[in-house]
Amino acid sequence: MIRQALRRNPWSFLGPAATQCLAAALVTASLCLIASFGGAPLSRAQRQAMTDSGVPDIAVLFVMISIYLSILIVGVTMSSAIRHQARDIALVRAVGATPARVRRSVAAQAALVAVPATLAGVPLGILGGHAWLGGFVRHGIVPAEVTFRLHGGMLPIALAVTVGTSLLGALIAAVRPSRVRPAVALAESAAPRLRIGVARTLIGILLVTGGVVLSVLIAGLDADTADQAGFFVMLAMCVGAGFLGPALLRAAAPLGRLLGDTGRLAADTLAVHARALSGALVPLTLAVAFAAVTITRSATTTHVTGVPAPAADRWLEFSGTGAYASFAAIAALNALVTLILARRRNLAVTRLAGGTRGRTLAVVVCEALMVIGTALVVAAAVAAVTLLPLLHATLDTWVPWLPASWLAAGIAGTALLVLAGTVLPAALALRRPPIEVAG
């Protein structure tokens, strides 16, 4: 059962494998930074100066952020991969598999994907950590005596994060298909449920509300405390947006109807697949919001004070944000590609029903545009709720500032990412004769 699932759904597991590898790399690099700072042969004065600079605390913060993001993104992608097996799970239930056996199979799949992905990610993390530390030294952030060291617990910690989150995401996704009657599960896999669960909606509303309340509270705190709490505001808002993702995407679907017949078909398709697409909305929102907060904060600080931040500080802030935003962006790309490849048969049926290759691809383009718009609006809201109290605490202003060229570059980058994850794989899938795919 396990081997068949992995062989039948290779593309579904590509996303989890990639995010698990990247998560292991981030965790490994961050742990090695801690080991390098802690084990450096520094004099008492050098050690005190480095402690006063806050760099060791930043290394600990990097580890925490890496683990938090890994838990969120790896769990989401693994859950999405198992959700694509709903029909297969229903079939094995119909021939006598018990719910417990299905759950054991799902857990084994998660482990079989996570372990090799983690083993591949740890060496990448070592290389990345070495390069990261080199940047610290070159920019004068830490003394030259700080050399790269391996952290003794990097492999078990990375395995605990990736395997643990994969198992959790997979088992949560398998709860419903393993428990409902096989006939009901088969019907739902053929026609996805449109109703959004009450519990999911309530959790999303609570998280978004909590993020807004925390944002209001930190506006009156000192700059350092507000800065540390800002990440949790962003995390709560992004996770809440993920829970509300299907509702947000369905709210955006009517806009597609303004684009004519192709837009109406895209809007209907988006409404049906909103639940699956919401898995890509979380990392996409994280990537855009992470980058927006860092870049806008730096630009606003320079605009208000008239003094650009030191190059070393800018490198430190941008390098960490770039790593985490890239991690989230790759996770979003994988989720989008996986979803489009899982819809190859639907695209082929559209072709067989009379749709040309160009018309079918135009529908996918319209869907992508609606996803881009939703992601940008949600990310802008998350960034605003996170950033405004930080600006008030540090600069005594509520007005962010960002050059128009940077804003345009951010919109273009988001659009390019979504189009690469949807239109490109769809175009490749449509090259095959539709009768072969549908059959």
For residue range 182-214, what is the model confidence (pLDDT) as tens digits? 666 566 555 555 566 677 788 889 989 998 998
* 166: its two tokens: 């994969």
* 10: its two tokens: 């290779």
Residue 105 pLDDT class (50, 70, 90 cuts) = confident
The neighbour count for residue 39, using CB atoms within 10 Å, is 14
Given a cut of 60, whether residue 78 has pLDDT beyond it is yes
Output the pTM of the full model: 0.79
- As a whole number of angstroms, the distance between CA 130 and CA 124 comes to 10
What is the predicted pLDDT for the residue at 242? 79
**Between residues 399 and 103, the one the model is more confident about:** 399
- As a whole number of angstroms, the distance between CA 41 and CA 21 comes to 32
Given a cut of 70, whether residue 32 has pLDDT beyond it is yes
- What is the mean predicted confidence (pLDDT) over 51-75? 78
Radius of gyration of the chain (CA): 23
Q: Classify residue 135 by burial, with Cβ atoms within 10 Å: 0-12, 13-18, 19+.
A: middle
Question: Within 13 Å and on the Cβ side, how many CA atoms surround 90?
Answer: 18
Quick check: helix, strand or coil at residue 296? helix
Query: 182 vs 89, 98, 139, 186, 296, CA distance in Å?
Result: 8, 11, 60, 6, 51
Is 280 within 8 Å of 237 (Cβ atoms)?
no
> Is the four-CA dihedral 55, 56, 60, 63 of positive or negative sign?
positive
The neighbour count for residue 168, using CB atoms within 10 Å, is 17
pLDDT more than 90, % of the chain: 11
Which amino acid, one-letter code, is at 226?
Answer: A
What is the predicted pLDDT for the residue at 155? 93
Which region among 54-63, 172-181, 205-214, 427-436 has the lowest average model confidence (pLDDT)?
Answer: 172-181
Which region among 165-169, 191-195, 258-262 has the lowest average model confidence (pLDDT)?
Answer: 191-195
Query: 300 vs 55, 159, 287, 293, 394, CA distance in Å?
Result: 24, 40, 20, 10, 11
- What is the mean predicted confidence (pLDDT) over 343-355? 80
> Is the four-CA dihedral 364, 369, 370, 374 of positive or negative sign?
positive
What is the predicted pLDDT for the residue at 123? 95
What is the predicted pLDDT for the residue at 348? 82
Is 315 within 8 Å of 139 (Cβ atoms)?
yes
The residue whose two tokens read 């639940």 is 275
DSSP string covering 54-123, please?
Answer: THHHHHHHHHHHHHHHHHHHHHHHHHHHHHTTHHHHHHHHHTT--HHHHHHHHHHHHHHHHHHHHHHHHH
User: 289-343 pLDDT, tens per residue?
Assistant: 888 988 898 899 888 888 887 777 878 778 888 888 888 888 888 888 878 877 7
* 321: its two tokens: 């944000």
- As a whole number of angstroms, the distance between CA 303 and CA 89 comes to 57
User: 107-147 pLDDT, tens per residue?
Assistant: 888 888 889 999 999 999 999 999 988 888 888 888 888 88
Given a cut of 90, whether residue 412 has pLDDT beyond it is yes
Given a cut of 80, whether residue 179 has pLDDT beyond it is no
* 387: its two tokens: 């950033």
Given a cut of 70, whether residue 226 has pLDDT beyond it is yes
Given a cut of 80, whether residue 88 has pLDDT beyond it is no
Residue 263 pLDDT class (50, 70, 90 cuts) = confident
Pick the most confident of 61-75, 346-360, 370-384. Answer: 370-384
Give the residue from 138, 121, 114 showing the smallest Cα distance to 32: 121
**Between residues 168 and 179, the one the model is more confident about:** 168
What is the predicted pLDDT for the residue at 239? 82
> Is the four-CA dihedral 362, 368, 371, 377 of positive or negative sign?
negative
